[in-house]
Amino acid sequence: MVALREMIDKAIENYLYEKEPETLYRAVKHLPSAGGKRLRPIIACLACEAVGGNVMDALPFGVALEIIHTFTLVHDDIMDRDEERRGKPSVHALFGDATAILAGDALFAKAFEIASYTRDDHVAKTILRNLAIMSKEICEGQQMDIAYAESDSIDEQQFMEVITKKTAKMFEHAAAGGALIGGGSEEQQEALREYGRNLGIAFQIWDDCLDVIGEDIGKPVGSDIREGKKTLLYLHAYTHADDREWLKCYGNPEASDEDIRKVIHLFEKVGSVAYAKEKAQGMAAAAKERLAAVPDGEAKDILMEMADFAVKREK
């Protein structure tokens, strides 16, 4: 796992070889070189290996996913006016909006170039098309997220649609694409697709829980509350809490630490935290079940562990 991650880090560095214009490429490399868990390429490579393929064959595709992920972060930070990312200034905070828009675009372009280095022509074409459709869906998810931010509440189906498009689809494509590259059967590709989707949903819901229960993940605890993010915890509390006082703090950037503590306390009291945790854990369990379709081995073991990690991690 460590070796795989190092290989991915190295591949990202190698693929992003451009240097000029200097400002543009400093902006392009700012986030990819800041690290990150590299979950998407790891899943792509492991899914490839799990069905009997060579891990190296999935590397261009995996790196492309990571770069697309990065591109969405760069543009989302502009839209959300987030000045920090992974404990560092965001790209637009450092380079201005124009260069940040361009850096995102250049990352997006690079991702398609990189994915095109997938060896088999037919597989490459399929994967490029899937990456394009996935990227479009991420945009749709972000647009829905922006629209929902302005409404008081959304239902769970709307919530699931947003996190599926914004997050889970990438995990889904990572696993299914890895399986396709590795020569997995259609049944295996489908099973890994569902593994990825469930894992992605589990991962995102747990991420929202961490904002309430977790350690510092590069943003202070309670930031979702101050931003008014429509998390599963919010949705649950919105329909289960009789007291409406907390809604005044939710989405208030000026909310005090004391206010935040009160909202968190309410989330715990009405069972919203437990509800979200259970949902995430259920999704992780469902992801693991789907791995029955692939043969036992190290790759499968790590994919199992990743599902556990998704809902146990503290950052």
The reply on whether position 23 binds a copy of itself by CB under 8 A is yes
Which residues, 62 to 91, sit near a copy of itself by CB under 8 A?
Answer: 75, 78-79
CA distances from 298 to 55, 77, 92, 295 (A): 12, 37, 41, 10
Q: How far is the CB of 78 from a copy of itself (least distance, A)?
A: 6
User: Minimum distance between the CB of residue 27 and a copy of itself, rounded to whole angstroms?
Assistant: 9
Other beta carbons within 10 angstroms of residue 248's beta carbon come to 11
Residue 101 binds a copy of itself (CB under 8 A):
yes
Binding status of residue 136 toward a copy of itself by CB under 8 A:
yes
Nearer to a copy of itself, 115 or 168 (CB): 115
Closer by beta carbon to a copy of itself, 111 or else 291: 111
Return the residues of window 29-58 that contact a copy of itself according to CB under 8 A.
none
Task: Work out whether 217 is an interface residue with a copy of itself (CB under 8 A).
Answer: no
Q: To the nearest whole angstrom, how small is the minimum distance from the Cβ of residue 59 to a copy of itself?
A: 16
Which region, judged by CB under 8 A, interacts with a copy of itself, from 48-56, 133-141, 176-184, 227-235?
133-141
Asked if 13 interacts with a copy of itself (CB under 8 A), we say no
Least distance (Å) between residue 120 CB and a copy of itself = 9
Candidate segments 3-11, 15-23, 230-238, 282-290, binder of a copy of itself by CB under 8 A: 15-23
